[in-house]
């Protein structure tokens, strides 16, 4: 730089540089995320200021980030047309530590409790450049400054220099950071690598990011006299290679030459979809975004989504999706080992893609949360435990439940079966078979019910809400699913409890002697055939004030009978069967709890049942199956 002035780094900065430079940390990629995030912040600033002062954009209208490399010089350049920095800014921003918490970060780093990838959260992300560079040069032009300045620092030195850029003003506005790559960081001077990193970290940064692609190509040499091996570098972004050939030359073997072409490739998707107005986003766009973030979906569409702004103490935007198929890593697997696929963004920059923003039982949900209110000066672990995350988690969980509920209540979609009856050649109407249509929610529910049930079991705060999503088959539902709400509305006037019976399959349950009296009285009984069902009901206990009661327990009472009559009949039975009861008690001894007269048998003479507080036979069967 012209009139280069040396400046000393603040002691804390020197310490950070020391740690970064000497770190054995392998994942050096983070530097690019940090520099893009700074560029994006700078663009956000100018965008905000230009709302009231549009003239600020006069020197350069585009708001964008451009990344290029020179593999011979082994440099990597990240340029943005953001706010830029004045000379004072350079000293304050790139020579001192602006935020508190840095000391803590350094301590945590030294203790191994934090790693370098968290550097951005401590307000010192810029220095991660030294993970890959032994010299960093920052050229920058602020709209309020007539000059373009250069800041530069060499790896390991405790001072940096600032001076006027000898090239004059080359940037309309903004900042251009040039990294002189270390020997072991050559891999970053490569289009494929850069594009992959940009996609990974900044896919949804709201500003366009271009990566410059340099390619060498063999093309026919039009100029006979030219040296066949000559390499020509084109200054054009795109090279126009003429395809026309001279007829006379056709016979001769063509001479070839190598040319280098350059092309700017936009490497991130369009503006973060969750930041856009709902009304402006088409279903196709939502599905496209889903396919990008839900890798597990393997290109399948989402079943539905919820896109919302949460406002209050904590503001955030979120977009969550329900898959149509159970994620493969989920099937047969232990829910507890399933990793979340929620992405956490802070100011549009990806912080983590497996942050626990939802309870485990909702791990099938994929989505994004973006908040400007998250503190950056805490590490990931603290953030995970922070109150803000707890608030976000609560709200997003509710929204997911609402989304499923809405889906369950949605109208039956039109299908081809709704087409009119066909008419054959002779004019006869071929009536379409009346195919019974299944609501898409029920198809979805079949696949995802273990998660919903897990929710009822684990999520006390949302247990009631989740129980409304449960569907069951019953003795009167004709093999169709009904909700607990449906069950309650079908109840007899005098019926106080919700009856269920659990077993291996519906066929077996239908034949159960316990069912006789219930069928006779036309009482609806829920059939539970999944292992989790009874466990779920033991947590749920009741629905709409009606207690869940298994019909195999021995205290089943029917409330439709006259109490007086019952009493007299019980007395008569007791007298009559007393000898038999005594005999049976003797005969079975300790194998049973007690023998008693039952009111609930039809044609079966006797049944073995479980006590009210005992395990049901089905639960015992499940436990036996699990313990081998
Ligand atoms: P943070 O981004 O958390 O503030 P960094 O160490 O990443 O911490 O950056 C320090 C400061 O340097 C930024 O706050 C900003 O003021 C300035 N800065 C860095 N990069 C740029 C850029 N590309 N354009 C303008 N200012 C920048
Ligand atoms: Mg930063």
- Report how far residue 38's alpha carbon sits from residue 82's, in angstroms, rounded to the nearest whole number: 9
pLDDT-derived band of residue 240, with 50, 70 and 90 as boundaries? very low
Residue 44 assigned to a binding site:
no
- Ligand 2 centre to CA of 33 (Å) is 9
pLDDT (mean) for 220-248: 52
What local confidence, expressed as pLDDT, does residue 626 receive?
Answer: 63
pLDDT over 90 at 463, yes or no: yes
Q: Which atom of ligand 1 is nearest to the CA of 34?
A: 7
pLDDT at 264 exceeding the cut of 50: yes
pLDDT band at 251 (very low <50, low <70, confident <90, very high): low
Under the banding of pLDDT at 50, 70 and 90, the label for residue 331 is low
Query: Which ligand 1 atom is the nearest neighbour of the CA of 125?
Result: 7
- 34 labeled part of a ligand binding site: yes
The pair of structure tokens assigned to 367 is 């989505």
- 334 or 137: which carries more pLDDT confidence? 137
Ligand 1, atom 17: closest residue by C-alpha = 93
Which region, left, alpha or beta, applies to residue 325 given φ > 0 means left and ψ of -120 to 50 means alpha? beta
Mean pLDDT of 295-309: 85
Rounded Cα distance, 343 and 190, in Å: 27
Cα separation of 23 and 106, whole Å?
A: 12
Cα distance between residue 565 and residue 570, in whole Å: 9
Residue 313 Cα, ligand 2 centroid: separation in angstroms?
25
Q: Is 85 in the pocket of ligand 1 (CB under 6 A)?
A: yes
614 is in an annotated binding site: no
What is the pLDDT averaged over residues 156-183?
Answer: 95
The preferred substitution site among 9, 93, 144, 374 for testing ligand 1, maximizing ligand atoms within 8 Å of CB, is 93
Please give the distance, rounded to the nearest whole angstrom, from the Cα atom of residue 126 to the centre of ligand 1: 6
Write a three-state SS string for 550-565: ECCECCCCCCCCCHHH
Residue whose C-alpha is closest to residue 83's, from 175, 207, 205, 176: 175
| Least-confidence region, from 37-51, 132-146, 152-166, 172-186 | 37-51
Q: CB of 1 closer than 6 A to ligand 1?
A: no
Position 54 scores a pLDDT of 87
User: Is 380 annotated as a binding-site member?
Assistant: yes
Is the CB of 327 within 6 Å of ligand 1? no
Mean of the per-residue pLDDT values of the chain:
84
Identify which of 5-19, 90-104, 201-215 has the greatest average pLDDT.
Answer: 5-19
Give the confidence band of 235 by pLDDT, cuts at 50, 70, 90.
very low
Q: Which atom of ligand 1 is nearest to the CA of 84?
A: 25
Atom of ligand 1 nearest to the CA of 127: 6
Give the environment of ion ligand 2: residues with CB less than 5 A: 38, 125
Of 56-65, 162-171, 356-365, where does the model show the most confidence?
A: 162-171
Which residue is it, tokens 């929204």? 399
pLDDT value for 415: 66
Whole-angstrom distance, CA of residue 127 vs CA of residue 294: 32
For ligand 1, what atom is nearest to the CA of residue 120? Answer: 3
Which ligand lies nearest the alpha carbon of 349? Answer: 2
85: annotated binding-site residue?
yes
Q: Does the beta carbon of 175 sit less than 6 angstroms from any atom of ligand 1?
A: yes
Q: Give CA separation, 162 vs 91, 289, 564, in Å.
A: 8, 43, 101
Q: Is residue 93 marked as binding? A: yes
Residue 375 has pLDDT above 70, yes or no: no
Atom 4 of ligand 1, residue of closest alpha carbon: 123
Nearest to 34 by CA among 149, 136, 106, 103: 136
Residue 11 CB neighbour total at 10 angstroms: 11
Binding site membership of 498 for ligand 1 (Cβ less than 6 Å) = no
Output the CA 99–ligand 1 centroid distance in Å: 12
Q: What is the CA radius of gyration of the chain?
A: 36
Residue 30 Cα to ligand 2 middle (Å): 11
- H or E element that contains 448: helix 440-458
Ligand 2 centroid, distance to 36 Cα (angstroms) = 8
Q: Is the CB of 90 under 6 A from ligand 1?
A: no
> How many A from CA of 105 to the centre of ligand 1?
18
Q: For tokens 């850069």, what's the residue?
A: 194
Q: How far, in Å, is the centroid of ligand 1 from the Cα of 117?
A: 17
């Amino acid at each position: 730089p012209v009139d280069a002035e040396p400046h000393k780094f603040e002691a804390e900065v020197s310490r950070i540089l020391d740690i970064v430079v000497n770190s054995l940390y392998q994942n050096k990629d983070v530097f690019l995320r940090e520099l893009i995030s700074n560029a994006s912040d700078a663009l956000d600033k100018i965008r905000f200021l230009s709302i009231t002062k549009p003239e600020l954009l006069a020197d350069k209208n585009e708001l964008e980030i451009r990344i290029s490399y020179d593999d011979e010089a082994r440099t990597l350049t990240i340029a943005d047309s953001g706010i830029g920095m004045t000379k004072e800014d350079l000293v304050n921003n790139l020579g001192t530590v602006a935020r508190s918490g840095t000391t803590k970060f350094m301590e945590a780093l030294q203790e191994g409790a934090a790693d370098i990838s968290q550097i951005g959260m401590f307000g010192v992300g810029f220095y991660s450049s030294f993970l890959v560079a032994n010299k960093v040069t920052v050229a920058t032009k602020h709209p309020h400054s007539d000059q373009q300045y250069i800041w530069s620092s060499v790896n390991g030195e405790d001072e940096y220099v600032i001076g006027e850029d000898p090239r004059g003003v080359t940037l309309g506005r903004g900042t251009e950071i040039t990294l002189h790559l270390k020997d072991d960081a050559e891999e970053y001077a490569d289009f494929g690598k850069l594009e992959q990193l940009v996609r990974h970290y900044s896919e949804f940064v709201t500003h366009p990011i271009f990566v410059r692609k340099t390619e060498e190509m063999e093309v026919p040499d039009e100029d006979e006299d030219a040296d066949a091996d000559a390499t020509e570098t084109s200054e054009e972004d795109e090279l126009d290679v003429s395809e026309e050939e001279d007829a006379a030359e056709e016979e001769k073997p063509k001479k070839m030459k190598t040319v280098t072409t350059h092309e700017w490739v936009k490497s991130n998707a369009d503006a973060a979809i969750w930041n856009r107005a709902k009304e402006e986003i088409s279903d196709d766009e939502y599905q496209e975004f889903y396919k990008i973030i839900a890798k597990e979906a393997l290109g399948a569409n989402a079943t539905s989504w919820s896109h919302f702004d949460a406002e209050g103490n904590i503001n955030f935007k979120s977009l969550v999706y329900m898959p149509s198929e159970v994620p493969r890593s989920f099937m047969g697997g232990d829910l507890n080992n399933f990793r979340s696929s929620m992405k956490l963004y802070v100011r549009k920059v990806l912080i983590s893609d497996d942050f626990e923003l939802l309870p485990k039982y909702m791990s099938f949900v994929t989505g994004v949360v973006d908040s400007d209110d998250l503190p950056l000066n805490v590490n990931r672990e603290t953030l995970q435990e922070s109150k803000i995350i707890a608030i976000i988690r609560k709200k997003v969980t509710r929204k997911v439940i609402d989304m499923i509920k809405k889906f369950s209540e949605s109208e039956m979609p039109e299908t081809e079966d709704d087409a009119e009856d066909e008419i054959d050649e002779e004019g006869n109407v071929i009536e379409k078979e009346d195919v019974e249509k299944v609501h898409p929610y029920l198809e979805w529910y079949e696949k995802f019910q273990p998660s919903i049930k897990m929710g009822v079991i684990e999520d006390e705060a949302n247990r009631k809400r989740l129980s409304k999503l449960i569907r069951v088959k019953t003795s009167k539902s004709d093999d169709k699913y009904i909700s607990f709400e449906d069950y309650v509305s079908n109840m007899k006037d005098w019926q106080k409890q919700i009856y269920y019976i659990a077993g291996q399959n519906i066929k077996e349950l239908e034949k159960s002697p316990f069912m006789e009296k219930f069928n006779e009285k036309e009482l609806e009984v829920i059939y539970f055939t999944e292992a989790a069902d009874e466990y779920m009901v033991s947590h749920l206990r009741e629905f709409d004030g009606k207690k869940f009661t298994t019909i195999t327990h021995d205290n089943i009472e029917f409330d439709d009978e006259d109490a007086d009559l019952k009493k007299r009949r019980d007395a008569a039975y007791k007298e009559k069967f007393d000898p038999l009861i005594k005999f049976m008690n003797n005969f079975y001894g300790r194998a049973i709890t007690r023998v008693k007269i039952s009111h609930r048998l039809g044609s079966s003479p006797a049944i073995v049942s479980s006590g009210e507080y005992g395990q049901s036979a089905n639960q015992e069967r499940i436990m036996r199956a699990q313990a081998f």
